[in-house]
Amino acid sequence: MSGIGEPTDPTRLTARGMARALRAGDLSARELAEAHLDLIERQDGQLHAWLSTDREGALASANGADALIGDARRGANAGDADALAALPPLLGIPVALKDLVLQRGRSATAGSRILEGFISPYDAHITERLREAGAVVLGRTNMDEFAMGSSTEHSAWGPTGNPWDLSRVPGGSSGGSAAAVAAFHTPLAIGTDTGGSIRQPAALTGTVGIKPTYGRVSRYGIVAFASSLDQIGPFGRDTRDAALLLGAIAGRDERDSTSAPIPVPDYAAELPESDDEAAGLLRGARLGLPRQYFVKGMEPGVEARVREAVAALETAGAEVVEVDLPHTDYGLATYYIIAPAEASANLARYDGIRYGRADRGRDVLGDYLATRGAGFGAEVKRRIMLGTYALSAGYYDAYYLKAQKVRTLIKSDFDKAFESVDALVAPTSPTVAFPLGARLDDPVAMYLSDACTLPVNVAGLPGISVPCGFSEDLPVGLQFIGKPWDEGRLFQLGRAYEAITAGADWRAREPSGLSDLPS
């Protein structure tokens, strides 16, 4: 492979390392796709990160990428110095799609039996962007049904394991995407984050995940959960890879009225290659540490790793000050009024008449009730009932309207904090990955998994989770929270933290749950 010290196994390369190897002719996009697809075939029976793979489509895309790279290399040899540099950075790079991203001609179930058999007639905006970038879509990853969950145990197709310990959850709802990246099945993956569903599984699997500012990425062609909270974002194994993927999918889309007409920076180009230069980004940075994010029930090992990370940031030159976000304690209740209310409206379209599952043989009402009764899982039904109640006559003002007012107060807390700090630093998850089944009978305990991530969605802000060590031999995540449209700053902070911890022993660790499986 091209590059000093890079792995010889192509699945162990970063996306940037893959791009260098492709352009140098040390590796073909087809070889790269086959290596990942073969690894998925050998290991996913026990991991269950994937709902489907598309070998034929992936190899066709890889062949197209190889043709473009071959033309560019011939141009470079003929004296066109810019031929290779002009290629899209994701050309030939494998990527996974969470199973709520529409892809023309492919199934999209959103983890639910009510969409079993549905074939998308069009591409999501981000699918179009990935095609234009020349990325190779390997397949579709498992998820909590309609993105409602924090463990990927609420999938109609069965749970996903955590690559660090297959008896534990990978987080959710984007647990399949996070697990696939952690297991080296793909260097990049797409997730969605409604209340922490990118950042929390990133923390639990030792990967990098970012939730962009609401409106940074178009939601066109994404199966909706809660429309004022949902946002699409990337997973990668490091900050620079995640920056590459966000740069490819972000931007204005006229088909989504909430998509912002704000220019997208070249996030990856703004990140230093040198660790010394990256560490220098911390000098003079002023970071806020919200006292409310060290929540009751936080595991001691998690708190220890986060406080050690904060101390490392200070040692590297950052100023860390404690800040007060007084309405944080209301974030969980606010979210669990707004999100179910919006879900109850969005999921009304699944009626057994227009598309998806249809249980027929009765009158119209009987068919409707039978279809929804059999098609939706328990957690989805629970949230539809909560949301319908909150929106019902006599309760709208007491619940939904009040929650929207508290949402404004939560956003105001962040605005006030950002008057004196550049960004916030906090835990991502209060715990490490918990055992499969441990919280299925206690929905409130499951909901508390997202206590540190929910306020960011309520306020529409960007947040990134990066690995910061281990507790009980399981990954811990550190979260940076930024001002609106300031994803570039979050990538810089994540990159700087990677730089100052580059020599840490824990950086060399790989998932142990897959150690006995074929590699």
| Cα–Cα distance measured from residue 345 to residue 114, given in angstroms and rounded to the nearest whole number | 16
What are 83's two structure tokens? Answer: 């031929």
Helix (H, G, I), strand (E, B) or coil at 164: coil
| Cα–Cα distance measured from residue 335 to residue 14, given in angstroms and rounded to the nearest whole number | 35
List the beta bridge partners of residue 465: 209, 479
- Mind spelling out the 3-state secondary structure of 232-279? EEEEECCHHHHHHHHHHHCCCCCCCCCCCCCCCCCCHHHCCCCHHHHH
Main-chain phi, psi angles of 406, to 5 degrees: -65, -35
Catalytic center residues:
98, 173, 197
Angle at 514 between CA 510 and CA 519, to 5 degrees: 90
Helix (H, G, I), strand (E, B) or coil at 435: strand
| C-alpha 291 chain-centroid distance | 25
Query: DSSP assignment, residue 97?
Result: E
Residue in 281, 216, 198, 268 with CA at minimum distance from that of residue 239: 268
The answer to whether the CB of 467 falls within 8 A of the CB of 476 is yes
What are 54's two structure tokens? Answer: 């598309």
In the sheet that holds 463-471, the strands lie side by side as 50-53, 136-141, 94-98, 188-192, 232-236, 208-211, 463-471, 474-481, 423-427, 286-290, 319-323
Query: DSSP assignment, residue 519?
Result: -
**DSSP secondary structure, 32-74, as one string:** HHHHHHHHHHHHHHHH--EEEE-HHHHHHHHHHHHHHHHHHHH
| Cα–Cα distance measured from residue 487 to residue 263, given in angstroms and rounded to the nearest whole number | 12
